[in-house]
Structure 1
Amino acid sequence: MSEFSGLRALVTGGASGIGLAAATLLAERGARVACLDLDPAVPEPLLGLKADVTDDASVRAAVAEAAERLGGLDILVNNAGIGAQGGVEDNPDEEWRRVFDVNVFGLVRVTRAALPHLRASRAAAIVNTCSIAATAGLPQRALYSSTKGAVLALTRAMAADLIGDGVRVNCVNPGTADTPWVGRLLDDAADPAAERAALEARQPMGRLVSAEEVAAAIAYLASPLAGATTGTDLAVDGGMHGLRLRR
């Protein structure tokens, strides 16, 4: 039997990319999984529920439905997020508010709604999808990086607050991942092939991270087998955060 047998998981942004990969892997390992998304079309056995993380009423209704249909919640994967490009002066206030509303406040809304259910679990875990952008200075990512820096700090603060409740909180820090969002960035570039090559080259392994590799890290942190791990950020970035190779 898998370590996830009998456990109930909720994944936000679970209909594509890293979220779908994580939801699929958790289900394959025995968990019952609900995916929250704006377009919740997911394959069986995943349960798709429509929710907008910028709308507190929408979040509370979807989390309540997930908990009811799954019979409770043990695992929350806060994966919903959006990207942004540009330096500190390149986006108006409205865009700063929009991206923070999804990437940071959305995480807060979902966690707040899920906590009563998680506190009732004997294997409660929260995994937040953060980013290498939280720990490395990347060009033209000021807004996005600041939201992910907030997610990293929030992960540690939540871990401290919730350890007494038996709720572990960790995050994964992916490097540039081969996801639909990155695909759209490449499509919009003047030279998509050159842009892909540049993104691959800045990661020491010489390629983009796959959604499945990030999902495996999420599953590790969510697993009861990682019961002594909390307040940790796990890099899945091809060595980008720590390696300085000579070319």
Structure 2
Amino acid sequence: MFYWFLKFVAIGPVVKLVFRPRAEGREHVPAGGAAILASNHISAADWIFMPLSLRRRVTFLAKREYFTGTGLKGALQRAFFTGAGQVPIDRSSASAAEDAIRTGIEMLRQGRVLGIYPEGTRSPDGRLFRGKVGVARMALETGVPVIPVAMTYTPRRMPFGRRLVRVHVRFGEPLDFSRYEGLAGDRFVERSVTDEIMYEIMTLSGQEYVDVYGATVKKSMEATGASASDVVGRLQPPAGEAGDRAPRSLAG
């Protein structure tokens, strides 16, 4: 109940009035049944704008930090995620990652729409980073469709020199991976499925793709003080080894 109050009364109308987000391709999200919404992640506000674009309830596997923040922002995030029944997850270990995947699979088997950020973290510099295979594992074990989603933010000029951001949410056509039925757990298949999902997100968003995990880049930035571009330059394979540096689409 609190979820719908926040979405349609307390937060949703104000956000829509101020930012006027545009949504495209909402017809690709099924009206009923389970589905995965796999989105890029470039802003802390992604978790607000994407669900507001749909009538259906979207559940996220939210990082535990969203429930422990301080100040007004922390209170709002905690109230929204708790009231919406979102699930906090600990991403600090391999076993925690496995627990998160099992939790996501259970939600999908309950018929929910699950929002996932395959990159695992917010983009360090606005580019699209390598996806983690958890999204593929969930899709393969449950057989649900994966809808790629692209969030884009464009500054727009307002009267008196002020600026706001124009938000555009694009939902792509559902991806069906039933041809890989029974192959959950095969690392090669899971990597191929993940790369296909990332390829579709890249196509929708227009972002440059980086074949490095965003979390690895962030960790190196914190340790060395280097920029994201410098870190990526050290970590990403040369062009001759990485091809066109884009995830391969299995449909192509």
| TM-score, normalised via structure 2 length | 0.38
Q: Of Structure 1 and Structure 2, which has the larger fraction of its residues in strand? A: 2
Q: Using CA pairs below 8 Å that are at least 6 residues apart, which structure has the higher relative contact order? A: 2
